[in-house]
Amino acid sequence: MRTVLLGAPGAGKGTQAEDIKQHYGCAHISTGDMLRENLKAGTELGNKAKSYMDSGALVPDDVIIGMIEERFALPDCVNGFLLDGFPRTVLQADALDMLLNKMNCPLDVVILFDIDDEVVVSRLTNRRTCSKCGKITNLLYYHGENCADCGGILLQRDDDREQVIRNRLAVYNEQTAPLIEWYDKKGILRRLDGTRDRKDIFNDIKAMFT
């Protein structure tokens, strides 16, 4: 499968990506994760992206497109891929089309996670990542102070503070939401209710591919 997961930050794309990857064995490509890895490793790309990420702004298109081009060259993409957090602008979507045309493998489907902005704010301000194993926990559903799996310290992402979240939502509504119509016109957009249970959403996704 070659799929784009589209939706506001915190809409549940990453969570579903884990389940889809496990079930279908395709590569999970999250541009946010790739940027955070670069930041952690102190690469030139990471340093370039830092100020944009800290404020919730988008990293420039050319940086992201170059990163994706390199990622597609890795062998795990042969079994298909899930794009999570990319594309985020019409320019990125255009570049993606061109890349996939060159590789002769167009997108199958773009899945839109519909969710209200205030639900996103509540979800993301409560999101924590384990400093040891990386597991994502949400304090809306888990009330411990340490990771339930390994006991590691739960940390909040810098860009999950409310003010930054509101900025990320504004950026999404302005620069990414136009992609909904863009993909709808191409006839490959499918909509999901992003507030439903993880299992129910995954069942809806499986039904799209049967």
Residues designated as active site: 13, 88, 127, 157, 168
Residue 123 found at the interface with ligand AMP (CB under 6 A): no
Q: Which two tokens stand for residue 48?
A: 């370039």
Residue 32 found at the interface with ligand AMP (CB under 6 A): yes
Distance CA 191, CA 41 (A): 36
**Which single residue is written with the structure tokens 């994706």?**
68
Which span sits near ligand AMP by CB under 6 A: 16-24, 81-89, 103-111, 142-150? 81-89
Distance CA 67, CA 76 (A): 16
Q: DSSP string spanning 46-82?
A: HHHHHHHHHHTPPPPHHHHHHHHHHHHTSGGGGG-EE
Smallest distance, Å, CB 17 to ligand AMP? 11
Contact 135, 28 (CB under 8 A): no
In this complex, which beta carbon is closest to ligand AMP, that of residue 45 or of residue 59?
59
Q: Residues 49 to 68: which contact ligand AMP by CB under 6 A?
A: 52-53, 56-59, 64
Cβ within 8 Å of residue 105, ≥6 positions away: 2
Distance CA 47, CA 187 (A): 38
Which span sits near ligand AMP by CB under 6 A: 82-90, 103-111, 131-139, 180-188? 82-90
Residue 12 found at the interface with ligand AMP (CB under 6 A): no
β-bridge partners, 128? 137
Q: Residues 126 to 185: which contact ligand AMP by CB under 6 A?
A: 159, 168
Binding ligand AMP (rule: CB under 6 A), the pick from 4, 11, 81, 85 is: 85
In this complex, which beta carbon is closest to ligand AMP, that of residue 6 or of residue 64?
64
In this complex, which beta carbon is closest to ligand AMP, that of residue 68 or of residue 154?
68
Q: Which two tokens stand for residue 60?
A: 């420039």
Residues that bind ligand AMP (CB under 6 A): 9, 31-32, 35, 52-53, 56-59, 64, 85-86, 88, 92, 159, 168
